[in-house]
Amino acid sequence: MAQTPSTSTDNGIAAADAQVPATPAFSPLYQQIKALILQSLQAGEWKPGEAIPSEMELAARFRVSQGTVRKAIDELSAENLVVRRQGKGTFVATHSEQHVQYRFLKLMPDSGDRDSEGPAQRSVLECKRVRATAEVARSLALRSGDPVVQVRRILSFGSVPTILEDLWLPGNTFKGITADQVAGYQGPTYAMFEVEFGVRMVRAEEKIRAVLPDAQQAVLLKVEQQMPLLSVERVAYTYNDVPMELRRGLYRTDTHHYRNELS
Amino acid sequence: MAQTPSTSTDNGIAAADAQVPATPAFSPLYQQIKALILQSLQAGEWKPGEAIPSEMELAARFRVSQGTVRKAIDELSAENLVVRRQGKGTFVATHSEQHVQYRFLKLMPDSGDRDSEGPAQRSVLECKRVRATAEVARSLALRSGDPVVQVRRILSFGSVPTILEDLWLPGNTFKGITADQVAGYQGPTYAMFEVEFGVRMVRAEEKIRAVLPDAQQAVLLKVEQQMPLLSVERVAYTYNDVPMELRRGLYRTDTHHYRNELS
DNA sequence: CAGTGGTCTAGACCACACT
DNA sequence: GTGTGGTCTAGACCACTGC
């Protein structure tokens, strides 16, 4: 990693042959540093909420300048993997105590903000071991029939059932998860995943549709079957784009709306 | 703007009194540079698609180092106001010829990508001068009764009507807009706004709901009234967070879905 | 006070695009 | 080759936090 301003453009890739590389495979130093920090993050060298070493320390460890470490951390920070706090340090991001609770939930009350309606009440209807259907397996990069945990729950705001959700989790990683754990944990469920299973969700993709509930769904949400609902299918990923959760939600949108910012 | 490493922390804010400032109002140099570049962008000093001066030139103009200009442009680039191209220069972002056509349209075909289904066919149903309702006025920061232009159109993919949209535009800025302009322009409508009216949309907010169409909407989209549709209400903003368009779309989501990425 | 992240500079060199 | 953005360094100083 040592590299002075007058170093060659070698890049650490020991070419076994002198053929013209199809891809130059040029990767700036700060990207390599970023990858190394990412590895430590992934390996759990620093736990969620903890501080990572200071920029100077990391610079010394990797034998690069502070500026290079800085640029690496800049990107990690932009990806919400890490949070900088001036005067204090850089901390591993966490779904707990994050000033943005419910980072992945975009449903907002039509009037007021999320604080004004208070926290959601959760009631877990089911939490059972099942085998992955072809569809679930595809989303979670498993094989059909692999063990998964399915959780069904309802989120209510002001005692009005608003979200009906099904979660599918890889059975091996979430071995022994119980309904009580899902229902009883204080704070976001993704925070519980961090504490109890060491799984940190880093990003997610959602596919949104308008649908009508089936008979059972209508009963559970206490709405008529003619009421259109938002169907939100989410796949959440840990590090390295490994999918770790499939979630299908039905949202009432008569008093709430899904809010999105485009740029 | 001249500031050497040993400059005082003055910051250009000539304090009229010595009271303790409620807000320190500290703004780093690069933020001030960013604001200046933003002003030039807004004033139209460089047109969409054109190159802005090189980093070295801007550094000389503002009497700061290249690194400081660089950080200013970094943020403008992150906000999609400007596009950097190594070896060529930095260009004013545009909705035309942007490799990401339809930057604000998140509706995707269920199978394949947007290229595979080809461009949308547009048919403009209406384009008329009206007076702003209270609701439209609120969204566009106008007063009730102010002149606005309302456009209604249908977007079809593979000759299947998929989106029914109403657009409201401030009448003063979009004076003289015609249905032919909206329908006939090659490329995104937002690109037409840039070329014909000098209006560049920079960001947008959307509120999404599931709804059933009324009788007229169902006829126009050629769907049954029981088919749930996505209602997408968008407010698009120019520079300085000035709202310039209100758009209400009804999306079919039986063959398409609204795609969102969370992080 | 010391330690952290944040800003700014000056200069060198690299990768890329055009001519 | 020239000019552009992109990377990297070294060092200084500023702003914030907590001891």
- Sequence-distant (6+) residues with CB within 8 A of A204 are A104, A234, A235, A236, A237, B261, B262, B263
Cα B70 → chain centroid: 24
pLDDT one-digit tens code per residue, B208-231: 999 999 999 999 999 999 999 999
Name the residue among B204, B205, B260 with its Cβ closest to that of A208: B260
- Predicted confidence (pLDDT) at residue A16 exceeds the cutoff of 60: no
Residue B116, pLDDT score: 84
Cα A129 → chain centroid: 22
Mean per-residue pLDDT over chain A, rounded:
91
Distance from CA of B42 to the nearest CA of A (A): 17
- Predicted confidence (pLDDT) at residue A25 exceeds the cutoff of 70: no
Rounded CA-CA distance A221/A210 in Å is 16
Among protein residues, the one whose C-alpha sits closest to the C1' atom of D17 is: A87
- Predicted confidence (pLDDT) at residue B23 exceeds the cutoff of 80: no
Tell me which chain A residue has its CA closest to the CA of residue B254: A209
Q: From B231, B261, B156, B102, select the one nearest A207 (Cα to Cα).
A: B261
Strand D close to B162 by CB, under 7 A? no
What is the average pLDDT across B36-62?
96
Q: What share of chain A is helix, strand, coil (3-state, %, to 5)?
A: 25, 30, 45
Residue B174, pLDDT score: 98
B80 contact residues in A (CB cutoff 8 A)? 263
pLDDT one-digit tens code per residue, A107-161: 999 998 888 888 889 999 999 999 999 999 999 999 999 999 999 999 999 999 9
In order of start, what are the domains of chain B with their CATH numbers? Answer: 1-93 (1.10.10.10), 103-258 (3.40.1410.10)
Whether A230 and B209 lie within 8 Å, measured CB to CB:
yes
What are the structure tokens assigned to B135, written together?
């609701």
Q: Name the residue with tokens 């807009």.
A: B177
Q: Model confidence at A8, in pLDDT bands (50, 70, 90)?
A: very low
What are the backbone angles phi and psi of residue A172, rounded to the nearest 5°?
Answer: -70, -40
pLDDT one-digit tens code per residue, B68-99: 999 999 999 999 999 999 999 999 999 997 77
Rounded CA-CA distance A43/A61 in Å is 17
How many angstroms separate the CA of B190 from the C1' of C16? 31
A205 CB within 8 Å of a chain B CB: yes
